[in-house]
Each structure stands twice: as C-alpha cells, then as structure tokens.
Amino acid sequence: MDELLSGLRAAAEPTRLRLLFLCAQGELTVSELTDILGQSQPRVSRHLKLLCDAGLLDRWREGNWVFYRLAQQPRAGGLARLLVDLAPRHDATLALDRERLDAIKGQRAATAAAYFRANAAQWDRIRSLYVDEHDVEAALQRLLPASGIRDLLDIGTGTGRMLELFAPRAERAVGVDLSREMLSAARVNLERAQLRNCSVRQADMYQLPLPRASFDAVIIHQVLHYAERPAQAIAEAARVLRPGGRLVIVDFAPHDLEFLRSEHAHRRLGFADAEIAGWCREAGLEAGDRQHLPGHSLTVSLWPALRPAAPQTERSDATLTSAVELRP
C-alpha cells in the first residue's frame, strides 16, 4: 500500500506527469527533457529525482550523460504505465511535448545516419567477404528458444540488430556496448521499431554491471574478434547466465586476412572450434554443436553453449534476482 501511495503522490503534479509520458516513449537525457519542457535543468532534475525515488522511473549514467526511462521493475513500472495510459491523448500540452520529442528523435536519426555514411564503405567491404547476413541470422534464430525468454542480453549490441531480431521472443532485452555512437544508433533503431521491452547501456563486456544469473539468453555477435581478452568476455557472459540459460557466440573461423587487423582493428583473425569450446568449458558451460557458414573469403561460425541446470536440491542464484538492474 505504501509503495502505491508513494507512486501516486510522486506523479500527482503536471510536470511529473509530462515527464512520465515522455519517458514512456524511450530513453531521454536530462538536457533533452529540459528542452522539451522548456523549464530549467535544476527544476526538471528535482522532478526526475522524485519520480526515481518513487520507483516510477529508472535512471543510469553513461559517461557525462544521465538517461531516464519508465521503470522496468514490474510493480512500480506497471503503475507508471497505467498512469501514462490514462493521460489524455489530445491534451494540448502533451501534444506539444510529442512534437518536440519527435524533433529530438529526428536529430538523433540524422546524427546516426551521418555516422553510418562515414563508415558504410568499410563495413560493406567486410560484409562482401562472408555469407549473407540473413543466413547468419536465420541460423542464430534456430539456436535460441522461439519464445519464453524472460531476459535476453546482447553483448556488443552495436546498432541493436540482435535486439530487433530477438526482442519479440523475450519479456526484456538489454544491449550493452562501449561505443556511445553505436548506442545512439541503436536507440534510433529500437525507437523506430517500437520495441518498448528493449534498452541499451554503455558497459564493458569484461565487467558487466549486471547481477549474477540474471539472463536466460546471451548473444555475442561479431564482437570477440575485437576483444583483447575473449576468454574473459565469455566468462563474464557465463556469469550472468541463469542455470539452463544459453549463450550463442557468432564470429569468424580462423582466416589470414591481415587487412582486417591493420585497417579495421580486429585483434583476432578468427577462432578455432577447440579454442571456443575450451573457454566455454572453463566458464562452466557445456559447448553445443557448432555451425559453419562458408562465404567468399570468411567463414562465419556459430558456437552455442549451455549453463547446466542447478540441482533441484540447491537454491539457484536466479531466485535471488527478481529483476535485471544496471548499476548507475
């Protein structure tokens, strides 16, 4: 009862209702919310703090930026979504807020498009060397459950493509990446696809700010060849897997294309099956049957692995984690 009353009290103010409505549309920074509302940053920050303290909004820091979105925790998040659904759609103030929000999203999209234009040539050259990406995605889809995934994690999410692909199978999908430019592009793509169960965060794949045993499925798609310490990245992915959870790694088989190292920052020129299987075994995972998709000069490999289910007599770590939370 106290939690419900606290949420209702926090939302019972015009500016805070507007903030809830805006944050239901996607992840927004303090400066973006300030621009939309036309109010001072200290005043907006005070309202945001009250909403966060009541559990109606989630807050996290990404470098010098602070992002807000509607709470993902089921109880408080459910109240926040109910209040947003009750907001009058034809209210003049909310309509103006939506117009300003659309303008900000348009600016984001333009920035992301410029970034991709600047890098498209080098990516297209690499893509021409291996099998069509649709074939890779189709193979990946067969390795993960068709439904029933509670929490999915995409490590090195890039443009958010894996989240777009698998979000319909999951209750919640989280993407992490170190690149702020990539995260900006991912946010644009996820907003365009209207995937409200997705979020992206800036995070280091060697030290994920995530609880142990908090995901049912983890994807590492075309990331390991950039890694200085791929075994540590796999161990960290295994750490956040629940018992019975599945990891799928997608990357290149061994090759001799040195220009990928010298021109595109690839640290490793592919991985052997035994190497990946050994790292999975060291991380406490059971390696599954690998798949190889030969292309023009590069072969894409898919390596599934499973975290063994906990014995029924033991208490699973998953019972200790009621929701996926990222440290601010």
Q: How far apart are CA 306 and CA 99, in angstroms?
A: 46
Q: How far apart are CA 97 and CA 148, in angstroms?
A: 36
Q: How far apart are CA 41 and CA 217, in angstroms?
A: 39
172 DSSP β-pair partners: 151
Per-residue pLDDT tens over the stretch 244-288: 999 999 999 999 898 888 777 788 889 999 999 999 999 999 999
Max intra-chain CA distance, the chain: 64
Residues of the chain with pLDDT under 70: 62-63, 112-113, 115-117, 119-125, 127-128, 311-328
Residue 311 pLDDT: 63
Per-residue pLDDT tens over the stretch 26-39: 888 899 999 999 99
Q: How far apart are CA 53 and CA 65, in angstroms?
A: 19
Phi, psi for residue 99 in degrees, rounded to 5: -60, -45
Q: How far apart are CA 310 and CA 307, in angstroms?
A: 9
Residue 327 pLDDT: 40
Interior/surface letters 286-316, b for 16+ CB within 10 angstroms, e for the rest: ebbeebebebeebbbbbbbbbbeebeeeeee
Alpha helices, H only, 128-271: 133-143, 161-166, 180-192, 230-239, 259-264
Specify whether the backbone of 296 is left (phi greater than 0), alpha (psi in -120 to 50) or beta. alpha
Q: Which two three-digit tokens encode residue 149?
A: 């995934």
Q: How far apart are CA 45 and CA 15, in angstroms?
A: 11
Of 230, 326, 327, 323, the closest CA to residue 283 belongs to: 230
Domain ranges of the chain: 2-99, 128-320
Tell me which fold the domain 128-320 belongs to: Rossmann fold (3.40.50)
For residue 89, the surrounding DSSP H or E stretch is none
pTM of the predicted model as reported, rounded to 2 decimal places: 0.73
Q: Mind giving me the DSSP string for 255-280?
A: ---THHHHHH--SSS---HHHHHHHH
Q: How far apart are CA 272 and CA 167, in angstroms?
A: 30
* Contact call for residues 109 and 186 (beta carbons, < 8 A): no
Residue 308 pLDDT: 95
Residue 127 pLDDT: 66
Q: CATH class for domain 2-99?
A: mainly alpha
